[in-house]
């Protein structure tokens, strides 16, 4: 009779999602063929988004709306009917504010920074076959409590290795994987048990840098391509449509963005009246910014909402989702707020800006699944799985190396 672990290898691979947010990473993981058993998230509006998606898709995913520090990983493992080593993927992106170059950057002196190491706590209990973490690039040079530059990253990698994992890191630009956005984030994938993981190669590239390339990649997706067919948003009349395609631009902001050309920002347009530019400085490059039709979007931000390339209005949450690579069938819950200001819980624009673009998550998750499948197929020698031989590169692979 087959052992329980042998049976699980033939089943759908299972994942646990930490800091799930609006489920961007999870959407990609699901598309790659994993089943997400549970999501842990503290924000109530994100949990409403998660719960609605689980219900509509008729999944059995558990939504745990709580502070992750209140959860005992071993108890959760028992609740999910798992034993150590049975979880295929532990994934998520902890809060980034303490590592971001924008803000106070208190790193591990900020309790939000310490949440990064919750992945270690869960890995110690679950012993997953693979771990996928996402963070801002500021993690790589974030100082530890002793002031050592890059100390936080080194500590994280050391803890992963101490648990028996082989961690690999890459800074990934979302535009290289079909997302119409120049977003760059750090991804760390750690595997155990001989799984030979390699990050997926880019499928798209900057056309300006590929003019003399023998095997050019597809060009970056543009804002025009991403927003094609989305249609006109409905006006803000207190009725929130299911697809979140609603224009909530205040009259004052419509006046201020008027006259700013496509692809520019208000502070740059010195010919406009001082009362229109107000107190903006030359450093305010993301405030009152219009996107360009023929380029990928700037990185979507929580602090400001970008403006439509040609219309005097904010982009809608649905347009943000298009720029992030969410499917049109995915719906958001929670309020739609103004463009700036401090809020305790995440409105719909911020839910998207905080999330991982699903196409990026899918590409990485598919590579993880391939590595785990290959590890299961390989014959064991002396009880160990040995790495696969190098793959033969195709023309597309060679082309991607030029990026």
Tokens 């707020």 sit on residue:
337
Residue pair 179/325 in contact by the 8 Å Cβ criterion: yes
Round to whole Å and give the CA distance between 347 and 46. Answer: 9
Judge whether 96 counts as a catalytic residue: yes
Residue 173 half-sphere exposure toward CB, CA atoms < 13 A: 16
DSSP 73-105: HHHHHHHTT--TT---EEEE----TTTSSSS--
Residue pair 26/17 in contact by the 8 Å Cβ criterion: yes
The three-class DSSP label of residue 131 is: strand
Would you tell me the crossing angle of helices 151-162 and 118-126 to the nearest 10 degrees?
A: 10
Catalytic position from the list 96, 196, 302, 375: 96
| H or E, element range at 79 | helix 73-79
What is the maximum span of the chain, computed from C-alpha positions, in angstroms? 80
DSSP 8-state secondary structure symbol assigned to residue 185: E
In Å, how far are 78, 109, 119, 162, 290 from 149, measured between CA atoms? 39, 14, 22, 21, 36
Tokens of 255: 């006046």
Tell me which residues are annotated as active site.
96
């Amino acid at each position: 009779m087959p052992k329980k672990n042998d049976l699980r290898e033939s089943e759908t691979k299972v994942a646990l999602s930490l800091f799930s947010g609006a489920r961007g990473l999870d959407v990609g993981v699901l598309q790659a063929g994993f089943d997400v058993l549970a999501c842990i998230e503290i924000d109530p509006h994100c949990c409403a988004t998660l719960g609605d998606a689980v219900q509509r898709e008729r999944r059995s995913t558990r939504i745990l709306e709580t502070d992750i520090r209140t959860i005992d990983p071993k108890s959760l493992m028992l609740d999910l009917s798992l034993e150590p080593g049975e979880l295929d993927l532990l994934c998520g992106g902890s809060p980034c504010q303490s590592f971001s170059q924008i803000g106070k950057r208190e790193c591990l002196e900020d309790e939000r920074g310490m949440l990064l190491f919750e992945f270690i706590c869960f890995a110690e209990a679950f012993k997953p076959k693979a771990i996928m973490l996402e963070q801002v690039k500021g993690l790589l040079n974030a100082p530890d409590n002793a002031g050592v530059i890059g100390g936080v990253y080194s500590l994280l990698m050391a803890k992963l290795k101490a648990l028996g994992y082989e961690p690999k890191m890459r800074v990934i630009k979302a535009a290289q994987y079909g997302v119409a956005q120049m977003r760059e984030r750090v991804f760390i994938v750690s595997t155990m048990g001989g799984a030979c993981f390699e990050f997926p190669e880019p499928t798209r590239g900057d056309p300006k840098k590929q003019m003399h390339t023998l095997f050019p990649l597809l060009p970056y997706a543009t804002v025009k391509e991403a927003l094609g067919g989305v249609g006109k948003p409905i006006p803000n009349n207190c009725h929130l449509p299911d697809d979140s395609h609603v224009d909530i631009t205040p009259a004052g902001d419509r006046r201020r963005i008027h006259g700013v050309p496509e692809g520019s920002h208000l502070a740059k347009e010195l010919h406009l009246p001082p009362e229109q530019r107000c107190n903006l400085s030359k450093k305010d490059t993301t405030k009152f910014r219009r996107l360009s039709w023929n380029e990928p979007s700037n990185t979507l931000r929580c602090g400001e909402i970008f403006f439509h390339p040609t219309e005097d209005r904010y982009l809608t949450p649905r347009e943000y989702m298009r720029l992030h690579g969410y499917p049109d069938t995915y719906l958001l819950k929670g309020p739609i707020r103004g463009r700036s200001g401090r809020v305790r819980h995440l409105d719909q624009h911020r839910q998207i800006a905080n999330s991982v673009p699903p196409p990026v998550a899918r590409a990485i998750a598919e590579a993880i699944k391939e590595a785990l499948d290959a590890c299961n197929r390989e014959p064991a020698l002396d009880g160990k799985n040995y790495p696969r031989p190098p793959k033969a590169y195709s023309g597309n692979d060679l082309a991607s190396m030029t990026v």
